[in-house]
Structures are given as structure tokens and as C-alpha cells.
Amino acid sequence: MKQEKTTVVEHHNFQGEYRILRLSAPQIGPMVKPGQFLHLLIPHYDRSILRRPFSIYKADADGVSILYKPVGRGTEAMRILRVGDPVDIIGPLGNGYPQQAEGKIPVLVAGGYGNAALFLKAKELPVKGVAFFGGRTAQDILCVDEFKELGWDVRPTTNDGSLGTAGLVTDAFDPWMKEQNIESLELFVCGPNPMLKAMGDRAIERGFTAWLSMDKNMACGVGACLTCVIKRQTEQGWEWARCCKDGPVFESREILWDE
Ligand SMILES: Cc1cc2nc3c(=O)[nH]c(=O)nc-3n(C[C@H](O)[C@H](O)[C@H](O)COP(=O)(O)OP(=O)(O)OC[C@H]3O[C@@H](n4cnc5c(N)ncnc54)[C@H](O)[C@@H]3O)c2cc1C
Ligand code: FES
């Protein structure tokens, strides 16, 4: 983990409301593992000193890219970043996704910016399986061509039926799952909490492995403030686990969801 004073090298619209921000970050870029995130201090934004967490979409020796959607005051303030502006980041943070277990068939399940969070994993995995992407409309299904170029069989689902199967991601996943050798599946999931829980419940009921990247609001991002805790199952009962430091990726059986 490093704190780096980076520079904006690219910043533009991507698809729908999503934007791409690329930062020159030669110290952090080479250290990144799939599923890790960075904590970004938004310049020209003096209402809060809190950083904002973003999954690392792409990383190489020169820098990192994020794919973000403006949803509030902080991310709206990021819109005005220009090429050459300085941006302070801490990263790479979090545990990231584990290596694929031997003999397993990888499956990706993502919604919204989850597609960006899974892109490096999709690239790294030696076997390319099926990728289920969910969103409200076609505009929310990101990077389809990039995943296809890597060799993934992409199955989109949209709530309004504007792309792929109409409904939720589970409406495409469930019929497919019935045809599979369940124990051999290993899922890598990133998306909104209801999607994470739905996939986690299926993994526990049906006996396959699912790695879920938890989406919790974060303050410090480095394990000190306990803003981001979830309940993690232990042999004795449960304990608090920090999504920023112990996660964000947990196996479905570890997570005790709040009722
Ligand atoms: C590990 C991790 C990785 C993330 N990766 C990405 C990414 O790759 N791309 C991206 O666009 N966003 C990502 N996010 C979400 C991003 O951090 C939030 O959208 C951002 O912090 C919102 O800041 P804001 O000041 O604009 O919004 P705020 O004013 O703080 O909040 C505006 C609205 O957004 C909601 N919100 C804030 N944080 C989150 C969150 N974590 N999840 C869901 N809703 C939230 C608030 O409840 C509120 O309704 C990630 C979050 C986490 C925890
Ligand atoms: S955000 Fe502070 S402990 Fe996780």
C-alpha cells in the first residue's frame, strides 16, 4: 500500500453516466491485484476530507484507471478533473479476489461498476467461463466487448429488457445453473448488496464457492475507523470484519447478513 501524488492522464465519458479516469501512478500501478481498490482524495472539494473508494478497473506499470458513476457530491465534484490535475490516492487496498481453485469453472457475476471491479480478474483467469452482467438498462451493462475479447461468454440481463434477458441477473443465472455440475463452479461476484446476497444464498444452498466483493461505505479505508464492518462467521460464533482491510472480498459462508 502506498500514498501517491498522481496526475490525471485521461478523463472522459464512457457509457451512460459512467466515466473513465486514468491516473499516472507508477508506484501503485504495478502492485495491483484483481479486486483491489484505491482511496481517492477529491481535489477542489472542501466539504469533506474523506477519501472515496473505487475499484481498480485497469492497472499497469504506468498507472491505474477507474470507471465511476457520479452519484453524490464527491463523485459529482470529480467531473471537473482535467488532464494534468494532481490527485492524491492510497492503494492498492483490500485483499482482492483469490487465485482460482484447481479444477473449478470460473463464473463472473456483476452489476454496475462491478464489471470494472472484475475486469482484471477476468483477464487473469486462465479459463474463461460465463459472465452474467445485470443492470437496470442496456446503459448499465459495461465493457461487454472487452470481456468478449478476453474470451468470456457474456450473458446480459436488464430490468427493462433493453439488452439480453429481461429481469434480474438471477433470471439468467438460475436456469443456466440447473444444467451445470454445481460443485465445480467458482463464482467471482461484485455488485449491489441484494445481488451479492442472492448469489451468496445460492452458493450456500447449492454447495458451490462464491467470492463476494462487499460494498460498504468507507471512511479511512485502511482498517482504523471500523466504519465498514460486517459480521463474519467464526467457529465460536461471529466477529467484526473490516471490508477495507479484511475484505472487500469474502467467501459467501463467511458473511452473516443483517436481517
Ligand atoms: C470497495 C468499493 C469499491 C467501489 N468501486 C466503485 C467503482 O469502481 N465505481 C463507482 O462508481 N463507485 C464505486 N464505489 C462506490 C463509490 O465509492 C461511491 O459511489 C462514492 O463514495 C460516493 O461518493 P459521493 O460523495 O459522490 O456520494 P455521497 O454523497 O457520499 O453519497 C451519495 C449517494 O451514494 C450512496 N453511496 C455512497 N457510497 C456508496 C457505496 N459504497 N455503495 C453504494 N452507494 C453508495 C450514498 O448512500 C448516497 O445515497 C465503490 C465502493 C466501495 C466500497
Ligand atoms: S473504512 Fe475505516 S476500518 Fe474500514
Instruction: Ligand 2, residue 225: give the atom nearest the CA.
Output: 2
Amino acid 43: pLDDT: 85
The predicted model gives 122-143 an average pLDDT of 96
**Nearest bound ligand to CA 36?**
1
- Do residue 67 and residue 154 come from a single domain? no
Q: Is the peptide bond before 92 cis (omega within 30 degrees of 0)?
A: yes
**Domain tally for the chain?**
2
pLDDT in tens, 146-198: 999 999 999 999 999 999 999 999 999 999 999 998 889 999 999 999 999 99
**Nearest bound ligand to CA 196?**
1
Give distance in angstroms: CA of 219 to centre of ligand 2.
6
Please report which confidence band the pLDDT of residue 258 belongs to, taking 50, 70 and 90 as the band edges.
confident
CA distance 118 to 138: 18
Give distance in angstroms: CA of 110 to centre of ligand 2.
24
CA distance 206 to 215: 24
CA distance 111 to 189: 9
Amino acid 44: pLDDT: 75
- Do residue 81 and residue 123 come from a single domain? no
CA distance 188 to 122: 9
Specify the 3-state DSSP secondary structure of 163: coil
Please report which confidence band the pLDDT of residue 201 belongs to, taking 50, 70 and 90 as the band edges.
very high
- Do residue 189 and residue 116 come from a single domain? yes
Amino acid 79: pLDDT: 94
- Do residue 137 and residue 209 come from a single domain? yes
What secondary structure does DSSP assign to 79-146, as a single string? TT--TT-EEEEEEEES--PPPPPTTPEEEEEEETTHHHHHHHHHHH-SS--EEEEEESSGGG---HHH
The letter for the amino acid at 2 is: K
Instruction: Ligand 2, residue 224: give the atom nearest the CA.
Output: 3
pLDDT in tens, 53-83: 999 999 999 999 999 999 999 999 999 999 9
- Do residue 40 and residue 116 come from a single domain? no
Specify the 3-state DSSP secondary structure of 175: helix
Pocket test for ligand 1, best of 58, 64, 75, 245 (most atoms within 8 A of CB): 75
What percent of the chain clears pLDDT 70, i.e. is strictly above it?
Answer: 98
Which structural domain range is residue 12 located in? 2-92
Give distance in angstroms: CA of 167 to centre of ligand 2.
34
- Do residue 24 and residue 81 come from a single domain? yes
- Do residue 124 and residue 207 come from a single domain? yes
Instruction: Ligand 2, residue 226: give the atom nearest the CA.
Output: 3
Amino acid 47: pLDDT: 61
Q: State how beta strands 255-256 and 229-233 pair.
A: antiparallel
In a domain, 236, yes or no: no
What CATH number did the domain enclosing 172 receive? 3.40.50.80
Give distance in angstroms: CA of 68 to centre of ligand 1.
9
Instruction: Ligand 1, residue 78: give the atom nearest the CA.
Output: 26
> Does position 134 have pLDDT exceeding 90, yes or no?
yes
The predicted model gives 128-139 an average pLDDT of 96
Amino acid 49: pLDDT: 75
Query: How many residues does this entry show for the chain?
Result: 259
Give distance in angstroms: CA of 49 to centre of ligand 2.
15
Q: Check if the beta carbon of residue 102 is closer than 8 Å to that of residue 109.
A: no
Burial label, 61 (beta-carbon count in 10 A; 0-12, 13-18, 19+): exposed
pLDDT in tens, 17-54: 999 999 999 999 999 999 999 999 998 766 667 899 99
In a domain, 226, yes or no: no
- Do residue 125 and residue 83 come from a single domain? no
Give distance in angstroms: CA of 225 to centre of ligand 2.
5
CA distance 101 to 103: 6
Q: Check if the beta carbon of residue 122 is closer than 8 Å to that of residue 131.
A: yes
Residues with Cβ within 6 A of ligand 1? 37, 52-55, 66-69, 71-75, 113, 116-117, 215-218, 248
Q: Decide which of 26, 59, 92 is a domain's last residue.
A: 92
What count of other Cβ atoms lies within 10 Å of the Cβ of residue 232? 17
pLDDT in tens, 219-229: 999 999 999 99
